[in-house]
Chains A and B, each alone.
Chain A
Amino acid sequence: MRVFAFSAVLLVSIAVLGGCESESSTSDAHRNAERTASDTLHITNAWVRPAPEGGVTALYLEVHNRRATADTLTRVDTPVSSRTELHTTVLHSNGTTGMRPLENGLPVPTDTTTRLRPGGPHVMVYDVQPALVIGDSVRVTLYFNAFERTLTAPVRPTPPQ
């Protein structure tokens, strides 16, 4: 199994959030006061689609923000590409579908699981070098305002069950 180091970059600030799913959401000051140092932000279920050399792929994952403050995914870097963008998929009233850049990044509210998923928000990775084949793994680094996380994402054609 090959392992590529990934890293990412995504611009952020606010705004257009396509497809965040909130498990729960609160700004309850009292609850925040009870938080402990174990509150954290972690990533699960990361995966990328296969891609030919020079092609594009998408990175999907889940961000669990258990911290007292909201954050924003601002950037993703990877050594398999010099260009990544945070996108979401949109469906138009005329029946067409397409991608739109999330210019302000992807908000990650507190006490929320934000899902980058097929048909929703995702990281678009351009000009992949070398090809990503099913069974490979790719390292990715996610940059948030307050954190960064590096992880390994398997290359697979469909989401993990």
Chain B
Amino acid sequence: MLLACTLTGLLALTGCTGNEADRIDDLSDASFELVNQDSTTVTFPDDFAGQALVVGYIYTQCPDICPMVTANMRQLRDRVDAPDDVAFITITFDPRRDTPERLRAYREAYGLGDTDWQFLTGDPDTISQLMERLDVRVELSRGSYDDDDYLIDHTDQISLVDPQQRVLFHYGGSMTPVDILAEDLATIRPAS
């Protein structure tokens, strides 16, 4: 049985169990061509078939909330001992600035350079469609996309996707206790 969903006050959560009827979305029909921090093409979610996914959303010009999302995912990864059947994935919603090179530098700054944790970006249209599909809202709050100096209001979110590529949980990314994430993740891992 899946654990309770954490609704951090930020998200309207529509599915709290792994039951077919309670899933938030089914990504098995989706295919988004992205690129990772090493400029390698990644097809999401196809390239992660058979794995449980922990997905976080950031932009690297965000010094406060987004690092908390990354830190929360890192604590979860440490808690479950980085198993091979779970993929940790961070997707930027600021593809104009977050190039593979910038994502690689960010990843290394957070001590993740030696892990298989992938940081993904893509062309703006693809990222926009993916964010919409994953219920991540992105709005400019200052500046314009025409220059390099803007701030973004965004959903603070971590998602869990099961090995059948069903989106089962959205959480407040920066503040959901790792205990809750770990217990829910345990229920959707392939070995569970």
Q: Measuring CB to CB, which residues of chain A are less than 8 angstroms from any residue of chain B?
A: 49-58, 87, 89, 91-92, 94-101, 118-119, 122, 124-125, 131-134, 157-158
Contacts and interface: CB of A to CB of B under 8 A. Distances in A.
Nearest to B74: A157
B10 A133 contact: no
Contacts, number: 93
B10 A124 contact: no
B141 A98 contact: yes
12 contacts: A52-B60, A52-B102, A55-B61, A56-B63, A87-B64, A89-B64, A94-B137, A98-B141, A98-B152, A118-B65, A119-B174, A157-B71
Nearest to A92: B153
Given A95-B11, A119-B64, 5 more contacts: A58-B67, A91-B10, A96-B153, A98-B153, A118-B67
B139 A96 contact: yes
B111 A157 contact: yes
A125 to B, nearest CB: 7
A94 B175 CA distance: 17
- 5 shortest A-B CB distances, which residue pairs? A52-B105, A98-B153, A58-B63, A50-B109, A96-B153
Interface string B58-86: 00111111011001001000000000000
A55 B106 contact: yes
Contact of B156 (A49, A97, A122): A97
Contacts of B110: 50, 157
